[in-house]
Amino acid sequence: MSSQPIAEAGFGSASNGRRPRPFGRPDFGPERRADPRRAVLLRADTAGILALLAVLVLHLLTRAGAAASTPLPALLGLLLGLPHGAVDHLIPAWLSMKARRWSRRVSLLLGYAATAGTGLLAYRAAPAAALLGFLVLAIAHFGTGDEAFQAERDGRRVPPRPHGVLAYGAPPVVFPLVLWRDQVDQLLERVAAGSTVLLTTEVRAAALVLTVSAMAITAVQDVRGRRGRGLVQLGLLATVFAIVPPALAFGVYFAAWHSLRHIARLLCADPANTAHLRAGRLGPPLRRFALHAAAPTAAVLISFALLTHHTGTAGVLPATFALLAAVTVPHAVVVAWLDRSGRVQRVSPGVS
């Protein structure tokens, strides 16, 4: 899978006679309007870094291990992050003129629903195997998302690096499985009985070796490429998921890192936001996204409420996973299309 960054070459250059700002500084003033997308992505990037730093410092200061060991922070993070996938049905029309036809839109919605239904049936038929497949999919989805986000943020037209995908996508999954085995295994068994039997010590050890190796290779490349921001983020991810209890770490990561980064990319990809982003206005694109995401998010929340009501308190975790498995598979397919196509809305530098 290849990933094409949103940013165009030449954005942020000093050719317009203005003094360039330091790299990495999010700003919506006149000097940054020549590169409106990068400002949006940098804001999301900074917010995610600050959120992970905050939960790390909070944990080190309070050591609230007992409270953080419950699944509630993870569930809350998943619920807060739901809107990031709520406009999947609109993305194809942003990327393709053909997808704007009503017949094509209906076909895409039916395909999305069918894929979601297939994921749900797979979980009902073989919960343990489906959970293992879901973890692998999560690693790929998180990793390709981070690789695509960083390429767009930095204006680099490069495909995702396989070791980069593993380096950024594996820590939220592999580190808890290996370093927090007692806590995580209890949750996994509640979600899918027998799943921990498939995750043997040898499987976890091999996954950890691959993850650490990929992180080392990626770190070396970041040093050689003078990408200090990527190096810091890699170290922060590893530290948070190694030190902070997994439910708390994942809840903050999913809501404030993964979901926020994806929403920032969507704001840049929506052609209707072109003029607002060029003018440095972030409010209207955010309101437009919230309006489009409201109904699908509400539908998922209602489905979640009905599932938990039907299964009772003991079935909250299995119901949550079943719902996530159902929507994550088609969501990952749509995001892969976004990563691969590169035919997103280009925001031209404004003339002032």
pLDDT tens, position by position, 3-14: 444 443 333 333
pLDDT, residue 250, reads 95
pLDDT, residue 108, reads 81
**Continuous segment of H or E residues that includes residue 35:** none
**Continuous segment of H or E residues that includes residue 18:** none
The string of pLDDT tens digits covering residues 114-161 is 888 888 888 888 889 989 999 999 999 999 999 999 988 888 777 889
pLDDT, residue 6, reads 42
* Confidence band of 40 (pLDDT split at 50, 70, 90): very high
The string of pLDDT tens digits covering residues 200-241 is 999 999 999 999 999 999 999 989 988 888 889 999 999 999
Residue 83 to residue 100: CA distance in whole angstroms:
22
pTM of the model: 0.82
- Helix ranges (H only) for 126-161 are 127-154
Minimum mean pLDDT range among 64-68, 98-102, 286-290: 64-68
48 or 3, which is more confident?
48
Calculate what percentage of the chain has a pLDDT beyond 70. 82
pLDDT, residue 312, reads 66
Q: Which two tokens stand for residue 220?
A: 């070396």
pLDDT, residue 2, reads 41
Please name the amino acid found at residue 102. Answer: W
Residue 89 to residue 105: CA distance in whole angstroms:
8
pLDDT, residue 278, reads 87
Please name the amino acid found at residue 31. Answer: E
Residue with tokens 């029309």: 93
* Confidence band of 307 (pLDDT split at 50, 70, 90): confident
